[in-house]
Amino acid sequence: MITMEYFGKDDIEIVMKWACSPRFLMQWAGPTFSYPLTKEQLMEYISKANQTDSTRYVFKIIQNNTREVIGHISIGAVNRYNRSARIGKVIIDEKYRGLGYGTQVIKEAIHFGFDRLGLHRISLGVWDFNEQALVCYKKIGFIEEGRKRDFRRFENEYWTLVEMSMLEDEWKEIKDKERQNTPSILHS
């Protein structure tokens, strides 16, 4: 199990360790940051985050048993009028990948967006070559809306972005199904 807690200045070093190449940085954050990632860039990134009226919420992901920071996620582009936001900058530490943490993280972020922020729509973009993430998002219930072909250039190649989203009614339906599939304990 995991816990999402607000990302702060004390967490900057771990993200800097993960951002070890220009390719990784582009995959993780698009053009938000430039390589090499610096403390100043991350301080600016979190400077207006995680406040009541923020347009960005930034989280670290903590593995409950070890209390180790194993990942990062953000909910940005929060638009309160349109009740929409965008999940981004998702990373799970390499040694924790393939263990279901990604699914838990995305579900927690969706819960935060729909149930705490009262959103109507949550979107995300994922590079088409990130097959593991695509499988995760589809399994959770995100719907593919389209592809932005050759959307971003990295060195001598072009990357295609897959756009996906989930609406509040779809999230409610997912939660209802999970509740129905959860066995109840009967007390006598």
Q: Return per-residue pLDDT of the chain as tens, 188 residues.
A: 999 999 999 999 999 999 999 999 999 999 999 999 999 999 999 999 999 999 999 999 999 999 999 999 999 999 999 999 999 999 999 999 999 999 999 999 999 999 999 999 999 999 999 999 999 999 999 999 999 999 999 999 999 999 999 999 999 999 999 889 877 665 54
Q: Which domain holds residue 65?
A: 2-174
Residues 55 and 113: their CA atoms lie apart, in Å, by 12
Domain count, the chain: 1
What's 151's domain CATH number? 3.40.630.30
- Is residue 77 a part of any domain in this protein? yes
Residues 95 and 177: their CA atoms lie apart, in Å, by 31
**pTM recorded for the entire structure:** 0.94
- Is residue 182 a part of any domain in this protein? no
Residues 125 and 102: their CA atoms lie apart, in Å, by 15
Cβ-contact 50, 12 below 8 angstroms? no
- Is residue 179 a part of any domain in this protein? no
